[in-house]
Amino acid sequence: MALSVVGKASRASRHLARRFGRDAHRALASWDSCLPTGAVFSVLRHETDGRGGGSLLFEVQDPERRPGKSMRAETVVIARHTRPWEQRQQHERLEDENDPASIPEKGAAACVSSQAGCALDCSFCDSGKVKPASNLPAWAIVAQVRAAQELLNPAVCRVVFMGMGEPLLNYSEVSRAITDLRKDSLFERPWAITVSTVGVEPRITSLAQDHPEVALALSLHAPNQALRSQLVPAGSRRWPLDGLMRAVRAHEELVGRVPMFAYTLLPGINDSEAMAHELSELLSDGRAPGSPRPFVNLVPYNPTAAGEEHGYQMPTNKQLRDFRTMLRARGLRATVRWSTAEGRPLTAACGQLRAAELQERPPLEQKPAVPDMAEQVADGKVSPQLLTRRLFQATSEQLLGLVEEHWADLNSIHVSAALVTLARSSSTQGLRSDRRFRALLRRTQELMRELQPQACANVLWSLGRLGYHPGNRFLSELFEVAEGLLGEFWPRNLANSMWACAKLRCRPEADAFLSLLAEQLAARAAELTPVELSNSLWGMGKLQMEPGESVLHALVETSRQQLPRWKAQDLASCLWALAALQYQPDSAFMDALASASHANLHRFKGDELVVSLRVFSQLKLSHAEPSGAGASFLSAAAARLAAEAQQLDPHRLDELINSFAELSFSPGEAELEQLWGAWASEPASLEPRALLTRLEAFVRLGGAVPGAPEACEAWAEAARLQLPKLDDAEQARGLQALEQLGLAADAHRSE
C-alpha cells in the first residue's frame, strides 16, 4: 500500500540527526512537503538483507504530468558495517577518497532511479526491458531516499544515481532533485551525491556548471568504440567515445575532481590484457604529468535476463583481481565494487526487480518471496535465472547432479552454461563416460535451434576445450546453426570457434562453416585482440585450410599494428601458423616479428623459442644488417638457448642447429662451444639421417667438427657405418660433407 505522509520530521530523520550529530530541525524534509498535492508514492514490495541493505519496488502517480497513469521503478540500498582496514583484509579493496561509490564507515548509500525504464538498452542491463522510459519527477526521486530511510536503513547518507534510467536524459528533474536533497545537511557536503551516466555528452558539462559539488561516474564498460557500441549500443551511437572523453576531461577541469569510470567486467568480452592496455591508454591520454591518476571501479556482472540472452557470465573473484592488477600495473587506480555481490540475493542489478515484477505481477497484498535458494522454487522448479547461477558456480560433480535433477527444465542458456563450467573445471576425469554428461549433450542437441549467438559459440568452445568430439551429426547441426548466427558473433566468439574447430579436427565436415568463419574473421580483424588473432591463425594452420590471400592479408596487417603487445605464446603460435599456411609476409613484418620476439625473449619457453627459430628459417628472416631486428633477435636467442642446451630434448637441439644453418647464422664462439657440447657427442648413437643432418650443420656453422682429434675420428667412424644405409643421393651429400670437414680420408681409413 502507499506510504502515509507525516507533517513532522520522521523518527528515521531524528535518529539520523542524533547518530551523525546533525541538527534535528535540519533533518530530512517530511513526506508531505516532498510530495505535491494529489501525488502518490507507493512501495509495492521491499526486501532487506539483514545487514542494513535492501531493495524496494515503488509506484508513482503524478496527476499533474501523467493523469490516470502510473510509473514503476526500484531503489536499492547498500550498507557497510566493517572498518576500512577490515574491508581491505576481507575484500582486498583499495579505499580511495576519489571513489564516489565507496560507502562511508557509518552510513549507507541509496541507489535511486531517475526513469521508469531506460531507452539506452545496454546489453547486460534489465532496465532496457522496461518500456517506455518515463521520466520520474524530482519529488519521486527525493521520495526514494525517504522511503529507503524509513523502510530499509535510517543511516542512508549518500545518494547515487545508478538505478533505473539515464539520469542525464532526465536532466531538469534530476537537477531539481539534487538541489532539494542538498538542502539537508546529510547531503550538502561535497561528493555526497553521485550521478552515473552512460555518457550524455552535452549534459556532462551542464552537470559540472550547475552542480560542481556532485561527483560524476561514467559507465564506460569498454576501452574502444567498437566494443562499446556492442555493449552500450544506443549511447555509443549518439555520443561516440572520442567526444565523450573530451566532455569528461572538461568536467574534471571545471570541478577539480577525477571522475570515476565504472567498468562492468564480462569474462571473455572485456577482461583481456589487451583491453586493460587499451583502457589505460584511453584514460591516461592527454593527462599532464603529476595530475591525479584515473580511477576505475570494476563492477562484477550480476546475472540478468538481458545478459543471459547474450550468454554473459559472472566473473570469478580471481578474474576481478587479475584485471584489477593489470590496471594498477599500468598506472591506474582500480577497485572492485564487491558490494555488487551482496545485491545478488536481492535481484539488485539495474532493472532486475522491475523486470521480474513485469513477468510476475503478484497481488499487492501478497508478500513477495525472499529470493533464497529454497524459496525461489515454484511447483518444484527452480527459477531459470537461479538455475543459471547455480550452474556457473557449481563444481563438476555438483553440476552433473543439477543436470540430472533439472534435465527437463534446462533451456539453451542452461546447457551452454553447464558446458562452459565443465570446460573450465580442473576435474573432468571420467566425464566422457558419465551418463549425465551424455544426457547434457542430448539436451543440448534437442535445444540446438534455440541457441543464441553467445551460447552457440560457448558450446563449440567448450567442446574444443574438453577435447570431446560429440559425433558428426551433433557437430553438423551445430555448424548449421552457427552459420546463421555468425554475423552476430562477438569477435572473440569467432576466434574461439576457429580454435575449437582445430582442436576437434573438424574438417572436412565443417568446410562450409570454416570458410564463412574465415571471411568473418577477416572482416572484423580490426576488433580482434592479439590472442584472438593468434588463435585464429593457429586454427587455420592446424586445420590446413586455404583461406585465401585476402583473409590472411587482413589478419596479418592487423597483427602488424598490435605486435608490440603480443605475448610470447601468441608470437610462437602466429609464426607456426604462417609457416603451416605457407604464407610469406613481407620483410617489414618479419622484422617486426623479430623485434617483438626479442622483447619477449625471457617469456618464451625453450621449446617455443626453438620452434619459432625454425619458422623464422622457413620464412627467411633477414639478418644481413648486424644492427637490424633479425640479427639482434638471433644473437639473443642463441645466447639464451646455448645456456640451456643441456636441458633441451635432442630432437629440439637438431631443430635449433638446423635453423641456424638454414639461416646461415653462426652464433658466437662461446655459444657454439656450449651447443656443440650438448649436440656433438656420441655420434655412434645417431640414426643415419640424423648423422647426415649434423655433418651438414657442421659445414654450415664453422666448417669443422668441434672437439679434439678423437672426436673427428668418432664422427668418421660413425659415417663409415651409417652412410651406406642411406639412398644414393643422401650418400653423395654425406661424402661431400665429409670432404668439406676434412674427414673423408679418416672415413676411408676406417674401412
The string of DSSP letters for 480-527 reads HHHHHHGGG--HHHHHHHHHHHHHHT-TTTTHHHHHHHHHHHHHTGGG
| Residue 286 φ/ψ region, left for φ over 0, alpha for ψ in the -120 to 50 degree band, beta for the rest | left
pLDDT (0 to 100) of residue 517 = 96
Active site amino acids: 95, 350
Q: pLDDT: is 35 or 178 the higher one?
A: 178
Per-residue pLDDT at 215: 95
Q: What mean pLDDT is predicted for residues 579-589?
A: 90
Q: What is the predicted pLDDT for the residue at 381?
A: 65
For residues 260 and 162, the answer to whether their CB atoms sit within 8 Å is: no
Q: Which residues contact 164 (CB under 8 A, 6 or more apart)?
A: 73, 74, 113, 114, 115, 116, 117, 118, 127, 130, 350, 351, 354
pLDDT the model gives residue 184? 84
Cα distance from N-terminal residue to C-terminal residue, the chain: 109
Q: What is the pLDDT of residue 33?
A: 59
Q: How high is the pLDDT of residue 380?
A: 55
Output the CA angle 509-513-515, nearest 5 degrees.
110
Interval 199-223: pLDDT, tens: 999 999 999 999 999 999 999 999 9
DSSP 177-194: HHHHHTTSTTT-STTSEE
Binning pLDDT at 50, 70 and 90, where does residue 9 land?
very low
The three cell numbers of residue 568 are: 610470447
Determine whether 69 is exposed, middle or buried from the number of CB atoms within 10 Å of its CB (0-12, 13-18, 19+): exposed
- Band (pLDDT 50/70/90 cuts) for residue 497 is very high
SS3 state of residue 263: strand
Q: What is the pLDDT of residues 553-565, one digit of tens each?
A: 999 999 988 888 7
Beta bridge mates, 76: 55, 111
pLDDT value at residue 623: 74
* Tens of pLDDT, residues 655-709: 888 888 888 888 887 887 787 777 666 777 788 888 888 788 778 776 777 666 7
pLDDT tens across 252-308, in order? 988 888 999 999 999 988 998 889 999 999 998 878 777 788 999 999 998 887 777
What mean pLDDT is predicted for residues 334-355? 55
**Mean pLDDT lowest for which of 320-329, 353-362, 731-740?**
353-362
Task: With cut-offs at 50, 70 and 90, classify the pLDDT of residue 498.
Answer: very high
pLDDT (0 to 100) of residue 79:
78
- pLDDT confidence tier of residue 362, bands split at 50, 70 and 90: very low
Q: Say how far residue 142 (Cα) sits from the centre of its chain.
A: 37
pLDDT of residue 393: 78
Cross-strand pairs, 116:
134
CA-angle at 619, arms to 618 and 624, nearest 5° = 105
Residue 196: pLDDT band with limits 50, 70, 90: very high
> According to the CATH classification, is domain 11-360 in 3.20.20.70?
yes
Over residues 383-395, the mean pLDDT reads 81
Whether 729 has a pLDDT exceeding 80, the answer reads yes
Buried b (16+ CB within 10 A) or exposed e, 315-335: beeebbeebbebbbebebbbb
Q: State pTM to two decimals.
A: 0.58
The strand pairing partners of 335, in sequence order, are 297
Q: Which of 23-27, 435-439, 593-597 has the lowest mean pLDDT?
A: 23-27
User: How far apart, in whole angstroms, are the C-alpha atoms of residue 308 and residue 329?
Assistant: 32
**Measured distance CA(410)–CA(392) in Å, rounded:** 13
Mean confidence (pLDDT) of the chain: 81
Give the model's pLDDT for residue 391. Answer: 86
Q: Is the pLDDT of residue 29 over 50?
A: no
Domain-by-domain residue ranges, the chain? 11-360
* Distance in angstroms (rounded) separating the CA atoms of residues 244 and 326: 24
**Higher per-residue pLDDT: 390 or 192:** 192
Q: Are 413 and 308 in contact (CB under 8 A)?
A: yes
